[in-house]
Structure 1
């Protein structure tokens, strides 16, 4: 006999996939966890609405304890900017119904993003020739000089291959 009864009144069957909301509603501990997760998601939505885009994408809400909300910024410059906005942000959060009396702004560095790979695009010999012809057809100007330099550079690369 299985330790999980498939004939239980709750309809729980461990062999079938369960919605995460159903799993989190199963016990009191999970209900509290779900409420905390929903509160954090609501706080994140409000912060995204209240902060400028460059800040919203780099600020995460932390814990809310005794009326003090911890906010984590990606680096010191963003934390300094957030401190400048603190009085207005605090008032806006209170206006939206959050029981926040103070903000505690901390820096939590985010993991380094991988650098962009070097460009791999190459111009064909025909493209370099067309660019050279275009540069030759223009009157002397900064654009004409830039196109001529680009054509020479790409013709040299195409001939090396």
Structure 2
């Protein structure tokens, strides 16, 4: 006899759309999720990468699309792009009158730890020898600089 209840068996992860399509009670939620993912795809296509990655779309309410920016500078940039963005979204079939831009700060990310890689003296000498045999080029300069940085220790 199993110590686990037959009702608590583990299941494989399921797509959100599959879970929401099981019953009609989730129909409004499913429509909202589909709308947000469609808006996300259109925003990714219309906005530059740095901007699209730092905003989150909200719902359309009273003809206004809510956009949440990661910080004030991105919100200001979005406000400059608002007329063109609204026109482009309208051309893609969205019934919008405007955009409502809000700032929603993202959690501060941990600083990147300093590199811990170290090169052996033999490796640094090999890089130095290679850089001396190459023609002057950006690669030759980079190898010489790397070799010099690791021979100082």
Structure 2 length-normalised TM: 0.74
**Deviation string, structure 1 residues 79-127 (Cα, Å, up to 9, x no partner):** 1111110000001111111111011111111112222221111111112
> Please, which of 117, 120, 145 is the counterpart of residue 116 of structure 2?
120
Which SS does the other structure have where 2:26 is aligned? helix
| Stretches (4+) displaced over 2 A | 13-23, 25-29, 127-138, 149-157
Distance 1:95 1:19, change over 3 A: closer
TM-score (normalizing by structure 1): 0.71
Deviation at 1:16, TM superposition (A): 9.2
Change (3 A) 1:88 1:152: closer
Q: In structure 1, how many angstroms separate the alpha carbons of the residues matched to 2:107 and 2:66?
A: 20
Note the C-alpha offset of 1:23.
3.2
2:79 counterpart residue number: 83
Q: Which runs of 5+ in 2 are unaligned?
A: 1-6, 135-139
Q: Counterparts in 2 of 1:5-154, with a 5 A limit?
A: 20-131=16-127, 147=144, 151=147, 154=150
Deviations 1:34-68 (A, max 9, x none): 11100000000000011111111111111211101
Larger Rg: 1
Q: 1:70 to 1:114 in 2, by over 3 A?
A: same
Q: Is the 8 A contact 2:32 2:59 kept in 1?
A: no
Give the secondary-structure state (helix, strand or coil) at the position aligned to 1:60: strand
RMSD of equivalent CA atoms: 3.0
In structure 2, the CA distance between the partners of 1:118 and 1:52, relative to structure 1 (3 Å rule), is: same
| Number of aligned residues | 139
